[in-house]
Structure 1
Amino acid sequence: MEDNPSDKLTKAQKLPLIREYRAAWDNVHTEETARQGKSIPMKFDGLAWELGGGVLAESIWAKGVQFRQLPSRIRGISEHTWTTSFSLNMDDFTIDPGQDLLAALERVSSNQSVLPSFCCCPPSHEECLLDILSTYVLCRRESDIHWQANLLPVNVSAIHIRTAFEIRINGDLLGILARQESYHINQTWSCINVWNWRTGEHLLSSTEQPLSFLFMGDRYLLTLKPPDILEGPAIVVHDIFVPSRRWMFQLPLVQGTVGGGSPGEGGGRILIREMNFISETGLYPNLDVVSEPGATWRPSTMLSPFYVARREKLIVLVMNLIFNRRQPMVSLTVSTLSSRLLACIEAVEPPIEGVDRRIMWQDWGDKNCRMGYWPNRWDGGWPCVSTYGTKYACLEKNRVTLYDFNQPAVRHGASRNGDHEGSNSTEYVMHSTDLETGFFDKPVVTSLPYRKRTPENPHIALIP
């Protein structure tokens, strides 16, 4: 947790509230919690939604966005709703409650388009120019352009109809990932760009086919790099203000992805989000990264008396693996903390300009990650997982199960309950685990402690 300095409560007054808040998380799946809880249904009549900063935002078809401030009895936050109306053909959006900010992507018909002020389109875009994507930075409570924005609607991409997008906000930074999906290797393409939305300055561009991205603080951008003929997938951390400085965190190597015979000697293909890459034997049908959209935001002063620590963000990588066509596909997760990645960056020599600083899996993954099986086979779409600070929840056998990587809380709970034991269906995992899949070149042993909570009642699936 992180203290809100704007709150007027004393430390003595905050301490019992923090204890009550932690106790509520410890008993999240009990029947008593279910009776006291409140259901907040989603509308699902729009195309996009986002949950972050204690606010649920849902698009309303052709009308705008409805916002709902989620209540918190312990922190004294009341529930209220409001709607921001505008007539945009909105493709996607993101919010920052702390800055009263909404950034929206709009598709504009090509016959109404003007020359984009910045274009991040694939080389063959002249043949597939169908739409123009515009970016608007708006106030959440009004449909006007945000009073501090100099990014007045800026056309960011000439796009193909199969192009998908991700948009994220972090402080003054606005990032947009465009990904054109194709079944043909010579037509795959993706690109990420970062701007300062207050000044309109373009800060970073990457066309190395990133699959997903997120901000780590005010300086670093994390992207997910797909595998290629020489190496497996990797987490790449970019210095936004010095784009030539990059750190590449290698993930475990699938057998045969480096070295060995040519693809014609029994090799396979890697299929990632419908993008094809040559490999030797291993296949990655799907790969994605999930994290809370705004854990590094500057929180609203109304969120008192404390909030989730901004430097400690859980990052969950979800992947599908197929070693050969005679074995079933396996879905795996790699969980780590943003603070662990930042510590690794600070511990190594800075990259030489234009040369990536590579950090091998055995040098960072064993102690800073936890790798495990995904409870259900992932279909390759948006992973059905919700993250909040150092926690994530997913569906396991029709029950919502909560994984918590809050290291002080995990160590404290394990000292009282012991490894692999706990109350209220809580399991503490403190020891190293060996993921015996037979997929990787070397044994994958990971040791990041965590605790897992499952509901006592199979029909209860609540998170406060």
Structure 2
Amino acid sequence: MSPSSILDLPIELCLRVLEHLDGPSLARSRLTCKYIRSLVDDSSNLQYKIELSITQKEDGIYSPLTVAEKLRALRNHQRAWDRLEWKQDKCVPMAGGSLWELFGNVLAQQDDSGSILFRQLPSRYRGIEEKEWRIQPDIPRVRDFGMDPSQDLLVLIEAPRWWGNNADRCHRFYLRTMSKCTKHPLARDGFIVHKQMVPDRLSYSIQVSGDNVGVLFNSLESGENELVIWDWKTGFRKLYLTGDEMRSFCFLSERHVVLTIRALSSEEELVISLLVVDFESESSEQQAFDSPQRSFSLHLPNLGPTITPVYLNIKTDPTPMWTPNPELQVPFHNAHSNRLYVVSLAVQADEAVKFVVLFVPWTTIMSHMGVLGAKDENMLEWHTWGPKGKLIFKNSDVFETSMNRNLQELVSYLFIQSRLILLFGNATVTGRGMQSPDQ
């Protein structure tokens, strides 16, 4: 006679069934009866799944630790964060050079000699040791650099030489290893070239995401800003956008990028927005920033009548698809969906400069992918996406949009604090049961 319910199954089979559930489902299932609760509570595998979901982490598949050891490390790690208890306080001096980068748990600094010092930041709970090494770039003039420790990738930028007998109007991006500064073995040519015909002073914003590297060329004179995305392994160009309206960018996924846009509407009104583009579906030829067909815009609130924006930037590091280097063998790491995009806006208000900070969860942006490419629905006004997107403003009195009292009080609190730590999460656990933050 076949079993009538899961409770009639042998313990081994019952555990096998429960192992197919995700963390939230496991937390809810343990509330069904004492028997299921005891199975879940006595299983390190099932408890680890629940804890990963609570802390918005993913399992480190290359770790040699047992599940029980991972669970203990995860709980200790989260307890230290909850209590703000750190094991070591260390001051890292900045080198004398003008370039530095912090990405994927590695701090890189250029010194006065032109060499680059890398410092891998330690983590006792995740078993990451502190490590330092130095490399000497094999190109004479490094204007900027980007990196991805998980791929041992270092991208060195050489700016054009506009004048002289050896004038060269090309930006060159050299693909090196972080470990030895040799040609990266996965890069077909070892470098990428981008030509520019009109002399201009530029700054660079660079980000690596998997096989993609994106560079925003910020014109400091009369030229237009340019965003170019390549497959760094093959050198193939995927996207080439132009326009001073583009102020910054970040990768959203393996095929999507988000840009901050400052532009004038057809009514000559200033509009600040986030532009999402599916670069895998677009032409690789040069086009204006507002030409892509597979795109949509998320408008920010209108600025007050006396407000003038002077700076607009979006940032998240590392990118959502990033995972630690397998050689680190970490027991767990941040979930791909647990990413926060920080939008920073500086404005001139009367005679004062004010700073506005918006925290946008990755899930908020991705939830609107359904309007990607829709001709009449790809411009979302603030009221259709912002209030439901769990955004937090700092110093938001520069916007015309009104807010409820609770948010105003939070903003006032943020404004007077010189140091602040914000904890973001989709769910917490009360009595080992999943509960939303609103509860």
TM-score normalised to structure 2 length: 0.71
Of 178, 190, 204, which aligns to 2:239?
A: 204
Quick check: 1:56–1:67 contact (8 Å CA) kept in 2? yes
Counterpart amino acid of residue 344 in structure 1: H
Report the AA paired with residue 198 of structure 1: K
Please point out which of 381, 384, 404 is paired with 1:360: 381
Q: Structure 2 CA distance, aligned partners of 1:80 and 1:3?
A: 23
Q: CA deviation at 1:193?
A: 0.3
Picking from 88, 103, 109, the partner of 1:37 is: 88
Which residue of structure 1 aligns with residue 225 of structure 2? Answer: 190
Matched, 1:25 2:68: no
CA contact (8 A) 1:64 1:87 kept: no
Aligned-pair CA distance for 1:369: 3.7
Paired position in structure 2 for 1:291: 316
Deviation at 1:287, TM superposition (A): 1.6
Amino acid at match of 2:341: I
> For 1:297 and 1:38, how far apart are their aligned partners in 2?
27
Is the partner of 1:212 in helix, strand or coil? strand
The code of the aligned residue for 1:166 comes to S
Residue identity opposite 2:424 in structure 1: F
Distance change (3 Å), C-alpha of 1:322 and 1:58? closer
Give aligned pairs, total.
348
Aligned alpha-carbon RMSD (Å): 3.1
Q: Decide whether aligned partners of structure 1 residues 178 and 13 sit closer, same or farther in structure 2, where only a CA change above 3 A counts.
A: same
Give the aligned residue type for 1:64. Answer: S
Return the offset for 1:59. 1.6
2:364 alignment partner, one of 330, 340, 348 = 340
> Which aligned pairs between 1:277-316 and structure 2 lie closer than 5 A?
282-301=307-326, 302-316=328-342
Distance 1:238 1:171, change over 3 A: same
Shift of 1:227: 2.8
For 1:404, the aligned partner's letter is L
Whether the 8 Å contact between 2:262 and 2:270 is mirrored in structure 1 is: no
In structure 1, how many angstroms separate the alpha carbons of the residues matched to 2:373 and 2:123? 44
Q: How does 1:87-236 map to 2 (within 5 A)?
A: 87-88=138-139, 89-110=141-162, 111=164, 132-158=170-196, 160=199, 162-182=201-221, 187=222, 189-209=224-244, 210-228=246-264, 229-236=268-275
Which structure shows the higher helix fraction?
A: 2
SS at match of 2:280: coil
* Stretches of structure 2 lacking an aligned partner (at least 5 in a row): 1-56, 283-292, 399-413
Question: Distance in 2 between the 1:361 and 1:57 partners?
Answer: 38
Q: Kindly report which structure 2 residues correspond to 1:75-90, keeping only aligned pairs within 5 A, or say none.
A: 75-88=126-139, 89-90=141-142
Bigger RCO (CA 8 Å, 6+ sep): 1
1:406 lines up with 2:428 in the alignment = no
Q: Deviations over 1:332-372 (max 9, x none)?
A: 11111112211221xx343147x881122111110114232
**Cα distance in 1, alignment partners of residues 144 and 58 from structure 2:** 30
One-letter amino acid of the structure 2 residue matched with residue 226 of structure 1 = R
TM-score normalised by the chain length of structure 1: 0.68
1:16 matched to 2:55? The reply is no
Map 1:227-306 to 2 at 5 A: 227-228=263-264, 229-243=268-282, 244-255=293-304, 282-301=307-326, 302-306=328-332
SS in 2 for 1:90: coil
Deviations 1:381-406 (A, max 9, x none): xxxxxxxxxxxxxx987954222222
Q: Is the 8 A contact 2:95 2:112 kept in 1?
A: no
Deviations 1:86-135 (A, max 9, x none): 243111111111111111111243346576xxxxxxxxxxxxxxx64211
Contact 1:134/1:153, CA 8 A, preserved across alignment:
yes
Contact 2:147–2:208 at 8 Å: present in 1 too?
Answer: yes
Q: Is this contact kept in 2: 1:133–1:157, CA < 8 A?
A: yes
Name the residue aligned to 1:70. Answer: 121
User: What does residue 384 of structure 1 align with?
Assistant: none
Check 1:350–1:401 CA distance in 2 against 1; reply closer, same or farther (3 A cut).
closer
Going from structure 1 to structure 2, the CA distance change for 1:207 and 1:305 (only over 3 Å counts) comes to: same
Task: Specify which structure has the higher proportion of strand.
Answer: 1
**Residue 53 in 1 paired to residue 104 in 2?**
yes
Q: CA deviation at 1:7?
A: 1.7
Q: State percent identity of aligned pairs.
A: 23
CA distance, structure 1, for counterparts of residue 431 and residue 202 of structure 2: 46
Deviation at 1:10, TM superposition (A): 2.9
Cα displacement (A) at 1:152: 3.1
Which amino acid counterpart does residue 340 of structure 1 have in structure 2? T
**Correspondences of 1:373-384 after superposition (within 5 Å):** 373-374=394-395
Which amino acid in structure 2 is aligned with residue 360 of structure 1?
E
Q: What is the alpha-carbon distance in structure 2 between the residues aligned to residue 171 and residue 178 of structure 1?
A: 21
In structure 1, runs of 5+ residues without a counterpart are: 116-130, 257-280, 378-394, 420-429, 432-448, 450-464
- Contact kept in structure 1, 2:138 and 2:181, CA below 8 Å: no
Shift of 1:298: 3.3
